[in-house]
Chain A
Amino acid sequence: DAKTTQPPSMDCAEGRAANLPCNHSTISGNEYVYWYRQIHSQGPQYIIHGLKNNETNEMASLIITEDRKSSTLILPHATLRDTAVYYCIVRGNKKLTFGTGTRLTIIP
């Protein structure tokens, strides 16, 4: 499975959009991009996933570049409850491989 690169930490003001980048330059054609988050020490929570088209659900939007080498997770109106570690994962055959993620802190 392809590796991902994320900034270790980011801050975002409450109410603003949080944009979390992820590089996955070695992604192959059948690999999906997944995003999970982990709040404090709870089990990770699924956010969204996509293959090549942009995706949106009730939690977030996922923007994947045309060459699929990078993506951005967008939380449109960040709240304090969105403070968490966000993991970008490229998933191939069956396995999720987590990196160290981005620690997002929402500032009041």
Chain B
Amino acid sequence: NAGVTQTPKFQVLKTGQSMTLQCAQDMNHEYMSWYRQDPGMGLRLIHYSVGAGITDQGEVPNGYNVSRSTTEDFPLRLLSAAPSQTSVYFCASSYRGHGEQFFGPGTRLTVL
């Protein structure tokens, strides 16, 4: 199993640009989520999904969209990038709402 994969590893955007961060898992996990981590801080939940076709907001959803058309994929879309979205983004998955969450390696995003 590849586990949780994220692409790209690094990305630089200009203010106002849009992009999609990709996340995929091959463990047939129902639950997937996106976090952001700013320097010196813990992770903050952006959006999560409990299964295909079902998504919900976390702590900091503004400026981000998600969809879950398949069990495997959970892309995160930045609609109009802002410097405040400069962060490291982590995707995670788990079999159910409880239990071990597996995290991807992260995407380091810089918005100029």
By a beta-carbon cutoff of 8 Å, the part of chain A in contact with chain B is: 32, 36, 41-46, 49, 87, 91, 93-101
Binds A, one of B14-22, B38-46, B70-78: B38-46
Whether the Cβ atoms of A96 and B44 lie closer than 8 Å is no
By a beta-carbon cutoff of 8 Å, the part of chain B in contact with chain A is: 4, 31, 33, 35, 40-45, 48, 50, 56, 58-59, 88, 90, 92, 97-106
Interface of chain A: mostly helix, strand, loop or mixed: loop
Number of A-B contacts (CB under 8 A): 54
A71→B101 CA distance, assembly (Å):
20
A99→B31 CA distance, assembly (Å):
21
A36→B90 CA distance, assembly (Å):
14
* Subset of 9 A-B contacts with CB under 8 Å: A44-B92, A46-B101, A49-B100, A94-B56, A95-B33, A96-B43, A98-B35, A98-B43, A98-B44
Whether the Cβ atoms of B105 and A44 lie closer than 8 Å is no
